[in-house]
Amino acid sequence: MLSKTIVKYIQSLAHKKFRQQENAFIAEGSKVVTDLLVSENFACKIICANRTWISENRGLTEKFPLDSVIEITGPQLKKISLLSSPGEVFAVFEKNETHIIPEKQISIMLDEIRDPGNLGTIIRIADWFGVKNIICSEDCVDCYNPKVVQATMGSLGRVNILYTNLDDFLRNHIISMYAATLGGKNIHEFGKIREGIILIGNESKGIKEKLLATSAGRITIPGRGKAESLNAAVACGIILSHVV
């Protein structure tokens, strides 16, 4: 039964303050929820779904206590959903504590990415190219923001994400960092990278000068038009397609 207490708890998780207090986040839609359920990174606390979804996904739901799988109607799902067109299922997961070891692989580092759609897409892009780690500055948007979770389309369950002070992280790990800038080496001439960190900066301000000073190299995507810059997620995808 979808009680008022559960509804209030679920609705509170739309806000970062309560996600931190409860160490939990919400996910919507069959694709996102299913991918997170089969991931080893997240434990599921509550599943709210219509009868059809529950019936078709018995293999996923039978391992949960009966009171954590709640059958609900369309109007009830709409009441707790943050989407304009709710899907068949809504779930609450425990947040994951991430420990990242960036050596001997490619990792992505993000400096002050604020747009939820951008971060979600970058997580999805990382998953596409097999990049397992994303290191975020402490002022990046929360990866458990519902808009970010939705934009990842389930990739959140396959990519490790760490929030930390980037200067401290780079001091504590002996690994080359390559910064995506407007004044660097043409990406077509850069070659493949077997291990290292690709740094992507803020959508409008770019990368902080202090971080740029520690880079082993600067990468530029050449353009022919008059646009001032590329969207952070688009730039990330183009860079990974060339260097990975």
pLDDT tens per residue across span 43-73: 999 999 999 999 999 888 887 776 789 999 9
The verdict on domain 106-243 having CATH code 3.40.50.800 is no
- Which two three-digit tokens encode residue 59? 């293999």
Q: Which of 89, 67, 95 lies closest to 3, judged by CA?
A: 67
- Residue 221's CB is within 10 A of a number of other CB atoms, namely 18
- Element at 135 (helix H, strand E): strand 133-137
Confidence band for 89, pLDDT divided at 50, 70 and 90: very high
How are beta strands 69-71 and 24-28 bridged, if at all? Answer: unpaired
Q: Which of 146, 23, 143, 156 lies closest to 93, judged by CA?
A: 23
Residue-level pLDDT at 218: 93
pTM for the full model?
0.93
What's the rounded mean pLDDT across residues 11-28? 96
Residue-level pLDDT at 63: 79
- According to CATH, the topology of domain 4-94 is 60s Ribosomal Protein L30; Chain: A; (3.30.1330)
Whether 149 has a pLDDT exceeding 90, the answer reads yes
Domain(s) labelled CATH 3.30.1330.30 in the chain stretch across 4-94
Residue-level pLDDT at 177: 95
Domain(s) labelled CATH 3.40.1280.10 in the chain stretch across 106-243
